[in-house]
Amino acid sequence: MVKNINSFPDPSILYTFDEVYPPSDDTYLIIDYFKKEINENFFDGLPINSIKKILDMGTGTGIIALFFQEIKKYLSNFTSKIYASDISDAAIRCATLNEKTINYKNNINFIKSDLFRKFPPNLQQSFDIIVFNPPYLPSISDKENNIIRRRSDSNWDGGERGFEVFLEFLRQVKDFLNSEQKYYIYYISSSSTDLSELNEELEILGFQNSVLNKRHIFFEDIILNRLEEL
């Protein structure tokens, strides 16, 4: 009988900071998918023992990185090194505190970086799995709406079209993917953006997109996607 992780609890996140994106519906859309698609033999169809490095980009509180670290306790074939990155000093502090609370001190490799700009060269061509819950909502015009920007706006503001931040990520990511075997990139998008335009951009950049799941929240559908090489 294949052992899966459906019944495993989510990591306990004791620390949240005001300026750090908290675990939300989009976060659990990602985690719930992996609970169904990871077992002792396969990571979403890929041989689990072939997954050597996983990156949680924009880690926030660290919950997704901690989730991967947690399931390593239960699946002996899952030995991947877990990396977590964020542009925010506060997020790195928050995630590190949560890691220490669960007694995973120094097991997760934290990198403070604006996307891949400060990643060390030895991580190039190394990641088999990357998860990114990017800011995915279109910018709001300050002048028209008389809105005062806050630091936390970067948690949701994806640019004028809603996916500029994600496209910049994709322009950098190929230098850090393990091109010697099949890789996956998982990300969240929103129905409040022009998804057909986004898909056109993805094809131009050489990626094939698969919609894995979606959830309707208030005024939008949040969508979990998976990218692979065309």
Average pLDDT over residues 106-123: 95
Please list, residue by residue across 42-51, b when 16 or more beta carbons sit within 10 angstroms of its beta carbon and e when fewer do: bbbebebbeb
How many CA within 13 A on the CB side of residue 208? 6
The helix/strand/coil state of 111 is strand
Q: List domains and CATH numbers for the chain.
A: 50-141+149-229 (3.40.50.150)
What pTM value is reported for the model?
0.90
Q: Which pLDDT tens digit goes with each residue over 120-137? A: 999 999 999 999 999 876
Q: What is the pLDDT of residue 12?
A: 80
Q: What's residue 26's pLDDT?
A: 94
Question: Which pLDDT does position 185 carry in this prediction?
Answer: 98
Higher pLDDT, residue 157 or 148: 157
Q: Name beta bridge partners: 214.
A: 223
pLDDT tens-digit series, residues 21-77: 999 999 999 999 999 999 999 999 999 999 999 999 999 999 999 999 999 888 999
Q: Is 77 left (phi over 0), alpha (psi -120 to 50) or beta?
A: alpha
Q: Identify whether the C-beta of residue 135 lies closer than 8 Å to the C-beta of residue 191.
A: no
